[in-house]
Amino acid sequence: MFMQAIQEKLETVLTPFEIAAHLPLIDEINALKKEKNACVLVHNYQTPEIYHGIADYTGDSLGLAREAAKADCERIVFCGVHFMAETAKLLNPATKVLIPDLEAGCSLSESITVEDVRALKQKHPGVPVVCYVNTPAAIKAESDVCCTSANAVRIVESLESDRIVFIPDEYLARNVAKETGKTIITHPGRCMVHEQFTPGDIENYREQFPGIAVIAHPECSPEVVAASDFSGSTSQMSRFIRQSRAQKIMLITECSMADNLRAEFLDKDFQAPCTICPHMKKITLEKVLKSLQEDVYEITIPPEVFRKARQSLERMLEFS
């Protein structure tokens, strides 16, 4: 019954050939999960066979962080990227956190160094530093408070200062500046997926599909966000679609997001001029199986950054 439900979901987005290749692995992973007392946390950008086949919880960075903090299992297998698995470890230090491929990184996370943050703090003394969750623990440790795309506006608004250093996503920072009216000092980090979309893409789709609802992730440029009908985190996007009467949806984000939503909202028509995140795609069913079988790859965080990095995440959870 359980496997049949998974198969039916996958039939809406994958070919019979793909499904036949995935089902035995899905079955094996789900059995091993129970045996090893493991929770599998899955980001919205993971492929449909991972998202619909093996997840105990699916969500955006904030939802996954909250879920990791309260996870009651011996190991968490994180199907997402490295900073997300590190966040899980920071919030649930007693649990073993595994990532199936250590090279699942993030262009934003790699765009900034500890020296960059220290230079910004020296240049803007006393100005609070907000870091996007898409950063390594060492960057979180240098920051006052962390945020995700779901709560960036709220976190910036809740700080008393009218000037904020916001790192490392320049576009998200500019989108937050627009919404909060605060002066935001940025760093030139970009998401390699979302920086590729242009307002011209949206114009073309609106001409081709009149009445289409356009939804963009806030890692897109402010011009793209301004041309959209809604902008929010990946889970906020899903919520918007659930509540919207729009039949045609244009999703400006990573490709698997549309695949996963197609399987969930069968009555909606998704147009997705999407871009693949090569980091998210490093995670495969085969690697998840290996991760469970061999307990690899364990996330460890240097003790000298652990406490401060955790503090900036805890502040975020308090604020939101």
Chain residues binding ligand 13P by CB under 6 A are: 44, 60-61, 134, 148-149, 191, 217, 219, 233-234
The entry of ligand SF4, ligand 13P, none that residue 234 binds, CB within 5 to 8 Å by partner kind? ligand 13P
Rounded to whole angstroms, the Cα distance separating 248 from 297 reads 41
Q: Which of 7/219 has CB closer to ligand 13P?
A: 219
| φ, ψ dihedrals at 62, nearest 5° | -70, -50
User: What is the number of other CB atoms lying within 10 angstroms of the CB of residue 99?
Assistant: 28
Q: How far is the CB of 191 from ligand SF4 (least distance, A)?
A: 3
The entry of ligand SF4, ligand 13P, none that residue 279 binds, CB within 5 to 8 Å by partner kind? ligand SF4
CA distances from 296 to 140, 200, 240 (A): 24, 44, 36
Q: Which of 44/221 has CB closer to ligand 13P?
A: 44
Q: Which of 25/65 has CB closer to ligand SF4?
A: 65
Q: How far is the CB of 295 from ligand 13P (least distance, A)?
A: 26
Query: Which H or E element spans position 231?
Result: strand 230-231
Rounded to whole angstroms, the Cα distance separating 29 from 165 reads 43
Q: Which of 155, 195, 159, 213 is nearest to 277 (CA)?
A: 195
The entry of ligand 13P, ligand SF4, none that residue 44 binds, CB within 5 to 8 Å by partner kind? ligand 13P
Half-sphere exposure of 130 (CA within 13 A, CB side): 33
Buried b (16+ CB within 10 A) or exposed e, 221-231: bbebbebbbbb
Q: How far is the CB of 107 from ligand 13P (least distance, A)?
A: 9
Q: How far is the CB of 45 from ligand 13P (least distance, A)?
A: 7
Q: How far is the CB of 212 from ligand 13P (least distance, A)?
A: 21
